[in-house]
Every structure is written in structure tokens, then in C-alpha cells.
Amino acid sequence: MKAIVIGGGIGGVCAAIALKRFGIETAVYEAVKEIKPVGAAISIWPNGVKCLNYLGMKDALRELGGNMRFMAYKEYQQGQTMTRFSMDPLIQSVGEQPYPVARAELQSMLLETYGRDQVQFGKRVTHVEGSADSVTAWFDDGTSATGDLLIAADGTHSVIRQHVLGYATERRYAGYVNWNGLVEIDESIAPADQWTTFVGEGKRVSLMPVSGNRFYFFFDVPLPKGLPQDRTTVREDLQGYFAGWAEPVQKLISQINPETTNRVEIHDIEPFMQLVKGRIALLGDSGHSTTPDIGQGGCAAMEDAVVLANMLQTNSLGIEDALLRYQEKRAYRVKDLVLKARKRCDVTHGKEMAVTEQWYEDLKTETGERILSGMCETILGGPLE
């Protein structure tokens, strides 16, 4: 059996690793010549970590992961702590730690595990064709590749999604802009072992530790879509949006490197239940595009990879049947994650300010129990309990 994997991001490479481990021949085709991940880092929650463990990356991931033992919310003007609690109850409940990691390092770990030289870069798919017993992908250099099945891991702007669904989807602007990057840990801004988030005015400023004494930081600001992006004014822009915010936030803004700070307008796609057509399967953001508000998009791609490989490995009724079982196992799970993230997004970013203000009030009486039990439920919904 030969699988063609389109896209060399988190989803595509995890799928290729998973299939290879089960002895299925794979070929990965990636559009760009060199992958430059959008975004500085990513939090891999225990459901994602378990998938990477399962795929043989347990030790490598621990080297890259930050030590995130506590979680805290802080009020925006004075920086006073609204709630602070240990992550240990979560870790004890689900049996694994979360690991925030720098994206470039995650991507390298995945490529090294799979075999970097087995990825064909500079191969952009333009269209695909399925027949009763094979699938062919056509590339923009005029070449093509044929396999027994095709995994479309070509991201949120997927060109294969429309072929599978039979209609075009639209990305929905979630109403806020996110700036993110990496900065050296400075404990006068936040503790080194804590996920710290300052909240107010429907905005947030967050810091998570990753390896190498660095914080992954991000700033969220509700803004109209399509404002001009100018790297040279990033610091001034953030100083304006966060005027009057506490000293640690001002300090963080002064320490960021505008050259390496990313600006992303956050989108998702209305969930759909069809993830496969014949011998083609959507995987990762091509099949479910979410806002990052519960940090689960990449984790869900890892889950997809594990489930898809298991369905192909354990099924004797053929590829199409295995893919339908993959769809059955994944469609509700990923829809749930997208909708949960959308709900969290609206509360966090002041879609209805009264609801957001109530959330700020609730945080002042939060002991960790409610937040961690919500996280637990999300994590335990994954395929590797």
C-alpha cells in the first residue's frame, strides 16, 4: 500500500510517521522549498503529547518542552493576580504533561523522525483525481504522483478540501489579531514555570515557557480585518493597544524583537462532517480549521494521524472502508474542538463585553478546579486516553 501525503506541516509529517511505523509506504509532497512555520511556538496539550509519545518522540519532545507547572490570570491595570493554581491535578488526571514548544524545533523533530530527505519540497498540488483503485496528485511543475490513497494535510487554505466536499468553504474572521514570538525569560515579567495571562478590555497578553530559557508570548487585540501590517511599527502599535496596562506588559513590549514577531488575523472554518472521499482523506487544518483559543488545532492534527494510521493498519475491508471509519471516529471530535475554541474565543475577546466582564469576575474566585476540569474533558476526548 502506498500513501501520498500532501503537506509537510505538523499533520502531514505526523501522518507520514504514523503510516511508516505501520509499514505503509509513504511519499510526502510539500509546496514550499523551506518550511517557515507561521507562529513562534505552540502548546502541545497531553492529548497531543500522547500521540507524539505513541509515534516514538517521547524523549525528543521532553527536550523541547517548557516546564509549565502553574497557571495564572492577572488583572490588566495593576497586574494583580486574579487566580493562580498548579497544573498538577490536570497532569495527574490525564497522565501526561502539557509541553509548550518552539514551532521551528517541533517541525525539525518531526522531519528528523520521519526522514527529512524523504520529503519532496517545492511540490505544490494543483488538483487531485481519484479512481476506483488509485489517486493521482498533480503538481504545479507539471509532474504527478500516484498512490493507493492520498492524505490531504495541506492546511487551512487546502486546495483538496473542495474536491472532497464538492463545495468551497470560507474562512471566518474570528475578530481579533494575534502577535506572537519568543523572548528570553525575564522573571520580573512572569515566573519561569508558569503560563501567565494578563486580561482586560477583551484583550490578552500571555507568556508560556519553552525550552532554552525562552517565553513564548502572544498579544490578542480585537480589531477589524485587513488593517495594514507594518513590522517597523509593531512595538509602537502594541504600546498603543496596551496603554495603561501593568508594568510587566510594558516591559514585555520593550523586550520583543519586531523582526521576529508574527502578526496573524485569526480565522476558523465552519465545521463539516465529511472528511473523506473515496481514497482521499482530509487531515489537520484542511479538515478542521480552528481558532487557537484552546490550543488544540495542532494536537487535533496529531490525533488525526494516529487514528488514520490505526484504521488502515487494523482494517481488512479495504482502504475506502478504513477511511470511512477514520471519518466516523474524527468528525464529531474535531467539530467539538472547533466549536469549543470559538466559544472560548468570544468570551475572551469581548464579543459581548458583559459576558467577558463576568468571566473576569469569575476568575477572581477560580481555584483552578473549573478551568482544569474543562481542559481535562477536552484532553480525555482524544484517541489515546
User: Which of 178, 356 has the CB closer to ligand FAD?
Assistant: 178
Q: Shortest Cβ distance from residue 344 to ligand FAD (Å)?
A: 13
CA 320 to chain centre: 28
Residues 6+ apart with CB under 8 A from 278: 130, 135, 320, 323
Helix (H, G, I), strand (E, B) or coil at 34: coil
Closer CB to ligand FAD, 11 or 65, in the complex: 11
CB of 109 to ligand FAD, least distance (A): 14
Cβ 176 to ligand FAD, closest distance in Å? 10
Q: Which is nearer to ligand FAD, 217 or 245 (by Cβ)? A: 217
Q: How would you classify the pairing of strands 144-147 and 25-29? A: unpaired
| Residue 255 beta carbon to ligand FAD: minimum distance, rounded to whole angstroms | 20
Which amino acid does the sequence have at 152? Answer: A
By the criterion CB under 6 A, which residues form the site for ligand FAD?
Answer: 6-12, 29-32, 35, 39, 42-43, 48, 124-125, 153-155, 159, 178, 180, 264, 284-285, 292, 295-299, 301
Instruction: Please tell me the distance from the alpha carbon of residue 46 to that of residue 53, in angstroms, as a whole number.
Output: 10
**Least Cβ distance, residue 10 to ligand FAD (angstroms):** 4
CA dihedral defined by 5, 6, 11, 17, rounded to 10 degrees?
30
The least CB distance from residue 247 to ligand FAD, in Å, is: 26
Q: How far is the CB of 31 from ligand FAD (least distance, A)?
A: 3
| C-beta of 246 vs 378, nearer to ligand FAD | 378
Under 8 Å between Cβ of 234 and 262: no
Strands across the sheet with 135-139, in order?
125-130, 135-139, 144-147
Closest contact distance (angstroms) between CB of 382 and ligand FAD is 11
Phi–psi pair at 201, nearest 5 degrees = 55, 25
Q: Closer CB to ligand FAD, residue 192 or residue 264? A: 264
Quick one: which of 81, 94, 114, 97 has its CA closest to 12? 114
Whose grid coordinates read 520580573?
Answer: 188
CB of 290 within 8 A of CB of 337? yes
For ligand FAD, the closer of residues 65 and 284 by Cβ is: 284
Nearer to ligand FAD, 124 or 171 (CB): 124
Nearer to ligand FAD, 200 or 284 (CB): 284
The set of cell numbers assigned to 28 is 510526502
Per DSSP, the residues of 233-274 read GHHHHHHHHTTT--HHHHHHHHHS-GGG-EEEEEEEE---S-
Q: Nearer to ligand FAD by C-beta: 32 or 273?
A: 32
Minimal distance, residue 249 CB to ligand FAD, in Å: 19
- Which residues, listed in sequence order, are joined to residue 100 by a DSSP beta bridge? 43
Q: Which is nearer to ligand FAD, 304 or 320 (CB)?
A: 304
Distance of CA 99 to the CA centre of its chain: 13
Min. distance of Cβ 13 from ligand FAD in angstroms? 8
Q: 295 with 42: CB under 8 angstroms?
A: yes
- The closest of 228, 20, 225 to 119, measured between CA atoms, is 20
